[in-house]
Chain A
Amino acid sequence: SQQGEEDPQALSIQEGENATMNCSYKTSINNLQWYRQNSGRGLVHLILIRSNEREKHSGRLRVTLDTSKKSSSLLITASRAADTASYFCATALFMETSGSRLTFGEGTQLTVNP
């Protein structure tokens, strides 16, 4: 079953603008991860936020996590054409019986126009 759901499904902005993508999930998590996928390539890990963290920064990326609302957001500031890609959130949960699982949402397609 799908754990994460991204919103919006598609986002088109101009270079220099900020892009915000949201992710909602349904069950408890150990951490939440964001990945980027360029066309025809595999997923690349961007940032991980633990369940006891509320905000995390990495370069132009800012991730927030609200476990009470079971939601996360990814903000890309000062976007560039090279940021054009699909972005996925993935919830991570470790269970003694089945190990660690990443459950991916369907992704947000971001297009940054020059």
Chain B
Amino acid sequence: DAGITQSPRHKVTETGTPVTLRCHQTENHRYMYWYRQDPGHGLRLIHYSYGVKDTDKGEVSDGYSVSRSKTEDFLLTLESATSSQTSVYFCAISESEILCQPQHFGDGTRLSIL
């Protein structure tokens, strides 16, 4: 398995609180991604990173921000959590984008916002 660790694995929090999810990789891959998975929607891209301090928005970026200060860490922050952000969040990494190579996924963070 690719060395990807997501933390925490489970979190329950209240509406309006800030939440930060962490993705840590040991593969030294350049590209990192945050997805959310919801019934009826499959996986949707939130934000991605193509290098340290280089990030861009995905399909469903509203209400989320990201940061990448080191190659191995990619943080996803919900500044003020809402119930619509209850979901399972997956981090993924990829070695190359130009060749559209497969992505390797972490085991997810299940986030519940009450």
User: Do A and B actually bind?
Assistant: yes
- CB pair B40–A106 under 8 Å, yes or no, is yes
CA distance A30 to B101 in the complex (A): 10
* Docked pose: A106 CA to B37 CA in angstroms: 9
Contacts of A31 in B (CB 8 A): 100
B102 and A42 within 8 A (CB): no
A25 within 8 A of B: no
Chain A residues within 8 Å of chain B by Cβ, number: 26
Number of interface residues of B (CB under 8 A): 27
Classify the secondary structure of A's interface with B.
Answer: strand
Chain A residues in 8 Å Cβ range of B98: 94, 100
The residue of chain B having its C-beta at the shortest distance from the C-beta of A46 within the complex is B102
List residues of chain B with CB within 8 A of the CB of A30.
100
Structural contact, A33 and B102, CB atoms closer than 8 A: yes
Closest to B33 in A: A102
Quick one: which of B42, B102, B104 contacts A104, CB cutoff 8 A?
B42
Residue of A nearest to B96 (CB): A100
A94-B98, A100-B98 as given contacts; A42 in contact with B90, CB under 8 Å:
yes
B34 proximal to A (CB < 8 A): no
B35, closest chain A residue (CB) = A104
The chain A residue with its CB closest to the CB of B98 is: A94
9 additional A-B residue pairs with CB within 8 Å, beyond A48-B102, A94-B97, A99-B48: A30-B100, A41-B107, A42-B90, A42-B105, A94-B98, A100-B31, A100-B97, A100-B99, A100-B100
